[in-house]
Amino acid sequence: MKPAFGDYVEGIRVMLPLLPGAVPFGMIAGAVAAEAKFGAAAGIGQSIVIYAGAAQLASTQLIAEAAPALIVVLTGLIINLRFAMYSASLAPHFAGLSLRRRAMLAYLMTDQSYALGITRYTADSEMTARAKARFYLGGAIAMWIVWLAATAAGFTLGSRVPPSWSLDFFVPLSFLALLVPGIRDRAAGLAAATGATVAVAASGLPFNLGLFLAAACGIAAGYFCETRWTPKKPQQGEH
Amino acid sequence: MDTTTLWLTIVAIGIGTFALRFSFIGLSGRLALPEPLTRALRFVPAAVLSAIILPAALRMPEGGLDIALDNPRLIACVLAAGVAWATKSVLATLAVGMGALWALQALM
């Protein structure tokens, strides 16, 4: 049996290639906060209190546009609704852990930590809940440190990196590297294709609602494809 | 927005976001999800990640989406997807995607 320490190291190791993608994103979040005239405490502190890039960017943008506080809060939370889906997906893997540990795992949840965690847990059914938590924490803590450093750097430097470098392109590329190897059957492929298509078609919707609609359509498409085309289990009568 | 309102806003988003993240993980063991729901949850990563990727890849600096087929970002994304599929390597995906975008931007 591997020592406990090894799980943390393994978690850090698989997260490493994804960290560069978070740097430009975090720097943009910091630079935008500086431009919106946040103080250093609020500009960098929101990375600790909220710790969610897309929501931070959107809420900072709205505050800069002098939107009412309630709208700012609701927008941030709608963007983060996807975390409830991730939470439902991860919950069975973290069952039995202490409340404190589960709270920590929840706080550190990001798109990246979720994707790495769920991919590994699906591939390795032998893992215990404790090993799963250690693997997840290794990568998630590394991401937290990088995110905080990147926002602080962005806040200090402002937007001095020229836009022509297109560093924001690292963000979709990182997610692409997470997505593609996880598509192992037709149903998952259909879910991805549907999600991407609907997201583009609905990108004009306010408050990131397009993302939500796209996720719902993608999940429905995958589910429908699977229940329709895979051999059915014996039915227990009509529901 | 004054400093107090700013902090209240940040803290409200922070608490709400934690509640969303903790929701099902916090309930685990006390709430058994129905089987169709757990089956549907398998598609969350594919559906959500792809819905983040494509609009982000097509977004133009001025705002709005560029869905033309000769969009350098779209071409770079397709190449990177091919590399991700063939190698399963995050580093190779990032290197090819970024390299392709820079090369295409220099050429076009």
Is residue B39 domain-shared with residue B69, that is, in the same domain? Answer: yes
Using an 8 Å CB-CB cutoff, list chain A residues near B6: 38, 42, 63
Nearest to A176 among B16, B67, B81 (CB): B81
| pLDDT tens, residue by residue, A75-118 | 788 778 889 889 998 999 999 999 999 999 999 999 999 999 99
Residue A236 reports pLDDT greater than 60? no
Residues B43 and B64 in one domain: yes
Contact A104/A137 with Cβ under 8 angstroms?
A: yes
CA–CA gap between residue A19 and residue A14 (Å, rounded): 10
Residues B28 and B80 in one domain: no
Residues B38 and B23 in one domain: no
Q: Are residues A20 and A170 in contact, defined by beta-carbon separation less than 8 angstroms? A: yes
* pLDDT score of B61: 64
The percent of residues in chain A predicted with pLDDT above 90, rounded, is: 49
Residue B23 belongs to domain spanning: 1-32
Helix (H, G, I), strand (E, B) or coil at A50: coil
Contact A34, A188 (CB under 8 A): no
The pLDDT of A21-29, averaged and rounded, is 82
Q: Are B67 and B45 part of one and the same domain?
A: yes
Residue B1 and residue B53 in one domain: no
Instruction: In whole angstroms, give the CA distance from residue B51 to residue A202.
Output: 10
Of the partner residues A73, A81, A171, the one whose CB lies closest to the CB of residue B20:
A81
Residue of B14, B22, B94 lying closest to A174 (CB–CB): B94
Distances from the Cα of A131 to the Cα of A4, A62, A94, A182, A203, angstroms = 7, 41, 10, 21, 39
Q: φ, ψ for residue A65 (rounded to 5)? A: -90, 10
The structure tokens 């994804």 sit at A18
What's the rounded Cα separation, in Å, for the pair A92 and A112? 19
Task: Answer yes or no: do B19 and B70 share one domain.
Answer: no
- Number of domains within chain B: 2
Q: Does position A130 have pLDDT exceeding 70, yes or no?
A: yes
10 Å Cβ neighbour count for A20? 17
Mean pLDDT value across residues A197-217: 85
pLDDT tens digit sequence for A147-195: 999 999 999 987 566 777 777 787 788 778 878 988 889 999 999 999 9
Categorize the per-residue pLDDT at A217 as very low, low, confident or very high, splitting at 50, 70 and 90: very high
Same structural domain, B47 and B6 = no
| Distance between start and end Cα atoms, chain B | 43
Other CB atoms closer than 10 Å to residue A71's CB: what's the count? Answer: 15
Please report the pLDDT score of residue A234 as a whole number.
47
Residues A27, A56: contact at Cβ < 8 Å? no
Pair (B103, B73) in one structural domain: yes
Question: What are the beta bridge partners of residue B65?
Answer: B59
Q: Are residues B66 and B84 in the same domain?
A: yes
Average pLDDT estimate for B2-24: 96
* Same domain as B68, residue B18: no
Residues 80-119 of A with CB under 8 A from B: 80-92, 94-96, 99, 102-103, 105-107, 109, 111, 114-115, 118-119
Secondary structure string (H, E, C) spanning B31-90:
CCCCHHHHHHHCCHHHHHHHHHHHHHHHECCCCCECCCCCCHHHHHHHHHHHHHHHHCCH
Domain shared by B41 and B93, yes or no: yes
